[in-house]
Amino acid sequence: SEAYMPVSAGLGSEENFLSLEDIIMSHEKLPCRLEMTLPRLGFLDKSGESDSIPEGTKMELPLWLAKGLYDKKRKIVSVELPKIYKEGWRTVFNADANVVDLHRLGPYYYSFGCQLLNFDSPENPEIAQTLLQTFVGRFRRIMDSSQNAYNEDTSGLVSRLDELERILFHAGQKGLNEFQRWEKGQ
């Protein structure tokens, strides 16, 4: 319905507390390494033999938990980069971002990528640059396809888009449909 205005996702490395989008995005997993033992939480670890999760354990934690445990002073966890934000993939994105299926690799490639800037990795500047370049590199094609797909099935056009790009595509489609209706005096 037109009148329903959900709380939008936060911008950049911010999250909006009440945004459903941000809550679901922040559930995406991140490779982490425990820098301290976690007593009495052994049942959470796959092996689950001992009563605690030992220091040095590598585990995939949801972003919201990694952010909560990542404290510059008392570092309970250290965070590694997911592979699609590492140099190898950054080279692919910088070569030609249009060939990448961002839905399969994401689907929160941009918003999750911005969240990684909360962890002080030395590669942050390169990550930020690649996020921006990728968006710019793909924007043109998204805008053109959303402006030219009138009254046709668009699932093929959005299947390789990340969530942010899909919202952009649908905004373009909304504008196109409203314009067409206006032209017909509807």
Partner 1 sequence: MFCEKAIELIRELHRSGDGSLPAFNEDGVRQVLEEMKALYEQNQTDVHEAKSDGRSDLIPTITFRHCCLLRNRRCIVSYLYDRLLRIRALRWEYGSVLPSALRFQMSADEMVWFNQYKKSLATYMRSLGGDEGLDVTQDLTPPKS
Partner 2 sequence: ANTETYLKNVALKHMPPNLQTVDFLKSVPK
- Contacting residues toward partner 1, per CB under 8 A: 1-7, 17-21, 23-24, 27, 36-41, 44, 52, 62, 64-65, 68-69, 71, 74, 76
Q: Which helix (H) or strand (E) holds 140?
A: helix 124-148
Q: Minimal CA–CA distance to 55: which of 77, 82, 31?
A: 77
Q: CA 86, CA 176: separation in Å to the nearest integer?
A: 37
**Calpha distance 174→186 (Å, rounded):** 15
Measured from the CB of residue 13, what is the shortest distance to partner 2 in angstroms? 15
Q: Residue 65 binds which one of partner 2, partner 1, none, with CB within 5 to 8 A depending on kind?
A: partner 1
Which of 8/148 has CB closer to partner 2? 8
Nearer to partner 2, 17 or 182 (CB): 17
Tally the residues of the chain: 186
Contacted by 124, from partner 1, partner 2, none: CB < 5 to 8 Å by type? none
**What pairing do the DSSP bridges indicate for beta strands 77-79 and 29-34?**
antiparallel
Binding at 8: pick from partner 2, partner 1, none (beta carbon under 5-8 Å per type): partner 2
